[in-house]
Amino acid sequence: MKKYFLLTPGPTPVPPEVLLEEAKPILHHRTTEFGKIFIEVIEDMKYVFQTKNDVLMVTGSGTAAMESAVVNLLSEGDEVIVVSTGNFGDRWEKICQAYKVKVHKISVEWGYAANPKDVENLLSSNKNIKAVFATHTETSTGVVNDIETIGKIVNKTNAVLVVDTISGLAGQKFLTDEWFVDVAVTGSQKGLMCAPGLSFVSVSEKAWKLVETSQLPKFYFDWKKMKKSIESKETPFTPAVSLVVAIHKSLEIIKQKTLQKIWADTEKLAIACREAVKSMGLKIFSDEPVTCNILTPILMPEGIDGQKVVKTMREDFGISIAGGQDKLKGKIVRIAHMGYIDKFDLVVAISGLEIVMNKLGYKIELGSGTKVLEQKLF
Amino acid sequence: MKKYFLLTPGPTPVPPEVLLEEAKPILHHRTTEFGKIFIEVIEDMKYVFQTKNDVLMVTGSGTAAMESAVVNLLSEGDEVIVVSTGNFGDRWEKICQAYKVKVHKISVEWGYAANPKDVENLLSSNKNIKAVFATHTETSTGVVNDIETIGKIVNKTNAVLVVDTISGLAGQKFLTDEWFVDVAVTGSQKGLMCAPGLSFVSVSEKAWKLVETSQLPKFYFDWKKMKKSIESKETPFTPAVSLVVAIHKSLEIIKQKTLQKIWADTEKLAIACREAVKSMGLKIFSDEPVTCNILTPILMPEGIDGQKVVKTMREDFGISIAGGQDKLKGKIVRIAHMGYIDKFDLVVAISGLEIVMNKLGYKIELGSGTKVLEQKLF
């Protein structure tokens, strides 16, 4: 008998009442019963995205929804800007390259946010840009980008703004319409408090116009087919019905709590977590003013391997936190605090981290981090 | 309080013990715990496919796995044969066309099986054919195709054989290796007794060679990335973890029962269902020697709208059966008997059908069909 604690930035824990919805007997996907649930999910997602635009659903990981944006908006040889602040920004580039889309890349040193001015300069020097791809909260570095300012810039041009808010949505403030985000992409397994396997996109009028000119091949990811199906409360192909029924429940919880309260609570967790980490004598990886609220990236001290910290926490105590990705492997660990991850989960994680750091030979005063959490969170 | 009975050819009902697995707390997908389950699922799928080939998993509908076969095997302008015996055979053509693959189509009148001789003739008159796409059990018409003979024919050529056995696998006998099927595609929501959202492909050595030459764009569907990830017991992107944990359980049930027993039981249900339908004075839609075992397609008598039959059964009694697709809309109804659909589920469906047909004005002696089921099944 082992207790598990999940504090990774996706998948995140799922509330028991949502898990139980997932365990309900399967509904056929072409029934009025399912159609009603599906349309309510689509409508609720408009609230979560804060948009009046169309929302579409893909049965697939967040990456599937990202790829759907590329193949529905673009044609081979099109020029785009990819604003990358980490591993997930780079993913936009890789998807574009797979489809022979020409990428003008704005790269920022990992741990820093993008400078909207760079986007403005590149857009004004190249009038052929069809789309700007960006990341809201960059999960690999813990940075939040200033999508609001980037949105204002892109909105003045003919390009569309496509934003990956897979880890950010329903955790960190995100206003699709007010920020002029033409396409926003998210997944079910982060702030939405559901199991992974569903992803969503919001599509503006401006984006739909680009869809009309797109020549890239697509079938499963075809947005026009999805939009047409929604008119009859259906999906083009058999969706993950049990996940749709489950997310219907978690969206109900989100609506009841309100996005404003979720954003505020997540921020409170983030601030407390950062202070706790500092009180333990550790450093936050990303530059403070740009650290996002949904996770805390912790820089490992010299001589401590982050991968070993993650492994020991999981093996000794069943606590899952995330290590660093790519060039940050071993150098940072990441503790998520979004969705169904709440105050005492954070107490458990910080407590486990204190014990494990000592075990691995880095002296931390036991209770120093948890003390700060107790002071700040309760 | 309404009881629901699901007898559609996908999604099919899920055993309660599998549903409860789906409701377990979420595991992170990059842990040894999940890795072990994932690899066992892959290995168990080799048993279900009856193959020693690689098996890959896609988080997505069966159509996603179909599309993955097209984009991983082919290049623009490649010539292929599509053997279509219905709606799902046509889907191969549509996917190929979306990617500008040149399709030589063998079309068979709906309700009949494909003639392997036609494949042989087309292959010998065109040496450029890279792949032959076929359907095992054509869900739209209830026909089973002779994949064994088609396999022997394609095996003598340089072309690969790609078979959609989304509805057939773990219901109707299918031997990937013995029948020389290079790529077999299936989904989680039919004979595999799990919720929809996962799909699987098996890939032969011959198919991998073709993958090396493929130029079609892909990212989420990239088989090489999937194969590489499996080496470290992972998936390239966040998989639908709860569905993987669930199907792990249903595969355990399938292994315990054995495929041979499942094929035999499904055939027994099919024979009894067809006899019951005939005893009610109704006709089977597809030509009997080619009717598959996983569902029974019932021709509606003159003046009876199949869509109304389906709707009435669902609204009055909570019984979900399927109507006809495309050109068969209204003309047939389809009762599935695969996966977790068992004897008394069929009694319920035939009983409901008797009542509803009478209600809609077609005289059937009440109890005539159920009597046959009781005689034949128990």
Residue in chain B lying closest to A313 (CA) = B31
* Residues of chain A positioned with their CB less than 8 A from the CB of B11: 26-29, 238, 241
Do A224 and A168 share a structural domain?
Answer: yes
CATH code where residue B340 lies: 3.90.1150.10
Residue in chain A lying closest to B28 (CA) = A11
Residue pLDDT, tens place only, B4-38: 999 999 999 999 999 999 999 999 999 999 999 99
Model confidence at A276, pLDDT cuts 50, 70, 90, reads very high
Residue in chain B lying closest to A59 (CA) = B60
- pLDDT at position B242, please? 98
Query: Measured between CA atoms, how close is B74 to chain A, in angstroms?
Result: 13
Do B351 and B215 share a structural domain?
Answer: no
Task: Report CB contact under 8 Å: B26, A195.
Answer: yes
Q: What is the sign, positive or negative, of the torsion defined by CA atoms of A36, A41, A47, A53?
A: negative
CATH code where residue B242 lies: 3.40.640.10
Task: Report CB contact under 8 Å: A10, B216.
Answer: no
> Which of A4, A23, A196 lies at the smallest CB-CB distance from B20?
A23
Q: Which amino acid is at B132?
A: V
Do B238 and B315 share a structural domain?
Answer: no
Residue B22: what are its φ and ψ, rounded to 5°? -65, -25
- Chosen domain end from A256, A274, A290: A256
Using the CB atoms, write b or e for B203-231: b if 16+ within 10 Å: bbebbbebbeebebbbbbbbbebbbebbe
Task: Report CB contact under 8 Å: B25, A13.
Answer: yes
| B368 SS3 class | helix
- pLDDT at position A115, please? 97
* Residues of chain B positioned with their CB less than 8 A from the CB of A199: none
Domain that holds residue A100: 16-256
User: What H or E segment, with its residue span, contains residue A350?
Assistant: helix A343-359
Task: Report CB contact under 8 Å: A196, B239.
Answer: yes
Mutation target vs B (from A26, A58, A90, A245; most B CBs, 10 A cutoff):
A26
Which of the pair, A288 or B212, is modelled with greater confidence?
A: B212
Do B263 and B251 share a structural domain?
Answer: no
- Chosen domain end from A211, A240, A256: A256
- Chosen domain end from A209, A226, A256: A256
Residue pLDDT, tens place only, B245-276: 999 999 999 999 999 999 999 999 999 999 99
Do B289 and B252 share a structural domain?
Answer: no
> Which of B20, B28, B314 lies at the smallest CB-CB distance from A8?
B28
Do A293 and A252 share a structural domain?
Answer: no
For residue A333, is pLDDT > 90? yes
Number of domains composing chain A: 2
Query: Measured between CA atoms, how close is B203 to chain A, in angstroms?
Result: 20
Average model confidence (pLDDT) across chain B: 97
Distance CA B90, CA B114 (A): 13
Model confidence at A1, pLDDT cuts 50, 70, 90, reads confident
> Which of B14, B62, B99 lies at the smallest CB-CB distance from A26?
B14
Do A271 and A230 share a structural domain?
Answer: no
Mutation target vs A (from B20, B92, B97, B219; most A CBs, 10 A cutoff):
B219
Residue pLDDT, tens place only, B76-87: 999 999 999 999
Residue pLDDT, tens place only, B195-234: 999 999 999 999 999 999 999 999 999 999 999 999 999 9
Do A170 and A270 share a structural domain?
Answer: no
Nearest to A190 by CA among A201, A182, A199: A199
* Residues of chain A positioned with their CB less than 8 A from the CB of B8: 28
Query: Mean pLDDT across the stretch B371-375?
Result: 98
- pLDDT at position A183, please? 99
Task: Report CB contact under 8 Å: A11, B29.
Answer: yes
- pLDDT at position B127, please? 97
Do B320 and B198 share a structural domain?
Answer: no
Query: Measured between CA atoms, how close is B97 to chain A, in angstroms?
Result: 9
Residue pLDDT, tens place only, A137-146: 999 999 999 9
Model confidence at A185, pLDDT cuts 50, 70, 90, reads very high
Do A241 and A117 share a structural domain?
Answer: yes
Do A164 and A264 share a structural domain?
Answer: no
CB A298 within 8 A of CB A284: yes
> Which of B6, B10, B237 lies at the smallest CB-CB distance from A238?
B10
Residue in chain B lying closest to A311 (CA) = B31
Mutation target vs B (from A14, A28, A75, A198; most B CBs, 10 A cutoff):
A28
A121 Cβ neighbours under 8 A, 6+ residues apart: none
For residue A288, is pLDDT > 90? no
- pLDDT at position A114, please? 97
Nearest to B346 by CA among B229, B256, B251, B268: B268
- pLDDT at position B299, please? 97
Do A248 and A120 share a structural domain?
Answer: yes
* Residues of chain B positioned with their CB less than 8 A from the CB of A237: 61-64
Query: Mean pLDDT across the stretch A269-278?
Result: 97
Task: Report CB contact under 8 Å: A238, B99.
Answer: no
For residue A298, is pLDDT > 80? yes
Match 């469906």 to its residue by tokens: B349
Distance CA B7, CA A371 (A): 57
Model confidence at A208, pLDDT cuts 50, 70, 90, reads very high
Residue in chain A lying closest to B193 (CA) = A26
Residue pLDDT, tens place only, B112-153: 999 999 999 999 999 999 999 999 999 999 999 999 999 999
Angle, in degrees to the nearest 10, between helices A62-73 and A223-231:
100
Query: Mean pLDDT across the stretch A128-144?
Result: 98
Task: Report CB contact under 8 Å: A4, B10.
Answer: no
Task: Report CB contact under 8 Å: A238, B189.
Answer: yes
